[in-house]
Amino acid sequence: MKAIELSRALGWELVCGDGEREIAGGVYCCDLLSIVMGRAPADCLWVTVMGNVNAAAVATLCDAACVVVAERMPVDDETLAGAKKGDVTVFKSEKPVFETALAAAKLLGLA
Amino acid sequence: MNQSGLHYHYDVPGDDFSQAGAASSAVKQILKQLGLDPQVVRNMSIALYEGEINMVIHAGGGVIDVDIDDEKITAVLTDHGPGIENVELAMQDGWSTATEQVRGLGFGAGMGLPNMKKYSDDLKIDTEVGVGTTVTITVNL
């Protein structure tokens, strides 16, 4: 399933990007960037509360299909610029990390 | 690609977290444009980013030189920071000397060097306390 299809089904707000990538790497949750960097699978949907510019860089470099910022945490302009430059799609979810990830996993047939 | 290969040089500013990852992102873009295996691109991107972040956090910045030839990608990260007192300890998962401020940004989980080791085919660390550190990351094509 494409990230944008998932976001529409779950009511996430599209913050930047087109969401056209397939979620082929499952759902991954973590806020510590070095752990994400080393362990997030390529093409995953990454759920985090970290909306800073470094999160955008990590998403780009570990090749996440998209980032979902849970609990509607703020995503500043610098982060958005970084995400756009790295061609990363960012969504916002109103729900906490677990609920966001669980809903995504269910739709992806992973839970 | 010819035998002489390609060379790229980057300056990494210290303590500027808004710029952290700029060099790694630029290198990733180049590797993608060269049409290299996505796994190779990802491995070098991750290893290089960890090295770049370490330079920003611990060493006041430095320089990165990347060479690409027909067989491998080599990144040499050179800084004149404090050096690493105990490399063996620094290689352990979870060991970190990062400040609380750095941890608040999501770094300092003590995974930097282990990640660099995991995602490179060869990792060489030359360090001297009070002089600086040179890290050489090699990823085979």
pLDDT tier, A71 (very low <50, low <70, confident <90, very high otherwise): very high
Check residue A12 and give its pLDDT. Answer: 98
B96 or A72, greater pLDDT: A72
User: Which secondary-structure segment (H or E) carries B62?
Assistant: strand B61-68
Name the 3-class secondary structure at A10: helix
Is 0.90 topped by the overall pTM?
no
Q: What strand order describes the sheet that includes A66-69?
A: A13-16, A90-92, A66-69, A45-48, A27-29
ipTM for the assembly: 0.77
Look up residue B36 and give its two tokens: 């290299």
Binary contact (B111, A54; C-beta < 8 A) = no
The residue segments making up the domain with residue A82 are 3-107
Q: Which residue has the higher pLDDT, A53 or B2?
A: A53
For chain B, list the domains and their CATH numbers. Answer: 6-140 (3.30.565.10)
**Token digits for B16?**
């500027």
Which residue in B has a C-alpha nearest to residue A42's C-alpha?
A: B42
pLDDT digits (tens, 9 = 90+) for A29-57: 999 998 899 899 999 999 999 988 889 99
CA distances to A43, A89, A100, A108 from A11, in Å:
21, 15, 10, 15
pLDDT above 60: residue B3: no
pLDDT, tens digit (0-9, with 9 covering 90-100), for B49-67? 999 999 998 999 999 999 9
- A35/B119 touch (CB, cutoff 8 Å), yes or no: no
Task: Count up the domains in chain A and report the number.
Answer: 1
Please say if the pLDDT value at position A15 is more than 90: yes
Q: Does A52 touch chain B (CB under 8 A)?
A: yes
- CATH label of the domain that carries residue A53: 3.40.1390.20
Question: b vs e for A67-96, b when ≥16 Cβ sit within 10 Å of the residue's Cβ?
Answer: bbbbeeeebeeebbebbeebebbbbbbebe
